[in-house]
């Protein structure tokens, strides 16, 4: 009888410790995120990607989170450089439910393509597990730098896309 009680007690202790380590492991994993994104050269100067847009390897971005109430910085990544496809990855540990987190453009490696797009100068990402979004991967909207001048072929590409308001961005010589 004493042996049976001891076996039950030891089994119960093992089950409880396994459950606690599983819960603690899940909690720590819930606060680890990977932000994935892409930086491109906007060759048509339209502030969105087209088939003529080019990936921008060597561009620098950073992630910064600010508290919504007092605007204090709660997280700041180092500058991250894009790979040869213009893609980047930022690892983040922590829960930033009370912060607005944005990936921002820092600099372009190309002198002919270094004008940051106004509309996509930053990309907001949610870095909390407490909002119903599951998973550790977070995707940022693509960010782009504009070329100084639009490349030939933009009119055709944009017309094929159904975009006809070309004079403001491309100039009258392209329309």
In residues, how long is the chain?
175
User: What average pLDDT does range 61-81 have in this prediction?
Assistant: 96
Segment 37-53 mean pLDDT: 94
Distance CA 132, CA 134 (A): 6
Whether residue 146 contacts residue 117, with contact meaning beta carbons closer than 8 Å, is answered with yes
* Cα separation, 108 vs 58, whole angstroms: 7
Retrieve residue 66's tokens.
Answer: 């600010």
pLDDT score of 22: 40
Q: Which stretch of 49-53, 87-91, 113-117 has the lowest confidence by average pLDDT?
A: 113-117
Q: What is the pTM of this model?
A: 0.76
Q: What is the pLDDT of residues 125-142, one digit of tens each?
A: 999 988 888 899 999 999
pLDDT grade for 20, boundaries at 50, 70 and 90 = very low
Rounded CA separation 85/122 (Å): 19
Domains of the chain by start residue, with CATH: 32-165 (2.60.40.10)
- The pLDDT tens digits of the residues spanning 142-161 come to 999 999 999 999 989 988 88
Helix residue spans in the chain (DSSP H) = 2-30, 154-160, 167-170
């Amino acid at each position: 009888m004493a042996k049976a009680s001891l076996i039950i007690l030891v089994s119960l202790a093992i089950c409880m410790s396994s459950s606690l380590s599983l819960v603690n492991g899940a909690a720590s994993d819930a606060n680890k995120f990977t932000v994935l994104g892409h930086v491109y050269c906007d060759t048509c100067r339209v502030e969105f990607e087209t088939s003529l847009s080019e990936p921008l390897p060597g561009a620098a971005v950073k992630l910064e989170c600010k508290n919504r109430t007092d605007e204090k910085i709660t997280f700041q990544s180092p500058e991250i450089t894009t790979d040869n496809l213009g893609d980047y990855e930022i690892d983040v540990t922590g829960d930033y439910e009370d912060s607005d987190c944005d990936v921002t453009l820092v600099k372009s490696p190309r002198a002919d393509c270094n004008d940051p797009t106004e509309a996509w100068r930053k990309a907001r990402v949610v870095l909390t597990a407490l909002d119903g979004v599951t998973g550790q991967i977070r995707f940022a909207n693509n960010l782009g730098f504009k070329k100084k001048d639009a490349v030939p072929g933009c009119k055709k590409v944009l017309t094929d896309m159904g975009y006809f308001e070309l004079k403001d961005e491309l100039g009258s010589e392209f329309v």
